[in-house]
Amino acid sequence: MKNLWGRRTKILGLVALLLAVVGWMRWNPDPPSHPPDPVGVLSSPVPEFTFTDQKGKAFGFKDLKGKVWIADMIYTRCPGVGSPMTANMVRLQERLKKEGLAVQLVSFSIDPMYDSPAVLERYGKNLRADFENWKFLTTPSEPVMHRFLQTAFGSPISRKTEVEEEEEPLISHSSCFYLVDGRGKVISAYNGIRPDYGQIIRDVRSIQ
């Protein structure tokens, strides 16, 4: 009987502990804040650049000095993660505005020979991007854009060459959102497919 009573006591104790943990999680839905994690080899600032935005205007590193910005890589013909990432960036833009945080968003096209300013503008409008603080950037040279992005964010980009004529191009690229501070240093990278909006907002606050 003593052993049976002891086992029952242990079981009841475990149940009570489990209920306490569940209760704590309900009242504390957000994980505790932590400092942004540096990514890759990105201790030096993003290289200076000047590309063309969706309005056909020059936009570059000098326009971002002193600003916190979030970048990603997209291309409008992407058959995979491109549109979901941009849709998630739209949600992030809305969350940042609601929190009163001034953050510039920058999407770099990795298919710039096709993604003209007009194509990028149409793409952004279709996904309800607010161009007030969001630039979609392109350039006449794909190698220039790819080299810049690989240097800036430490992420390889490669185009699949064996594609049927009727197929969309396949270009492998990072699916991350990158947080960059006012000095041009990459602070953190986040999953752009399933972003943790709360963590991004906390990290933005920590560097503003």
Residue 176 counted as an annotated binding residue: no
User: Is 34 among the annotated ligand-binding positions?
Assistant: no
CA distances from 62 to 46, 49, 50, 110, 143 (A): 11, 8, 8, 21, 22
Is residue 134 classed as helix, strand or coil in its secondary structure?
Answer: strand
- Per DSSP, the residues of 63-114 read HHTT--EEEEEE-TT-SSSHHHHHHHHHHHHHHHHHTT---EEEEEES-TTT
Q: Give the helix/strand (H/E) hosting 185.
A: none
DSSP characters for 34-72?
A: -PPPP-TTTTSPPPP-EEE-TTS-EEEHHHHTT--EEEE
DSSP, collapsed to helix, strand or coil, labels residue 138 as strand
The one-letter code for the residue type at 3 is N
DSSP string, 142-153: HHHHHHHHHHHH
Cite the annotated binding site by residue number: 78, 173
Cite the annotated binding site for Cu cation by residue number: 78, 173
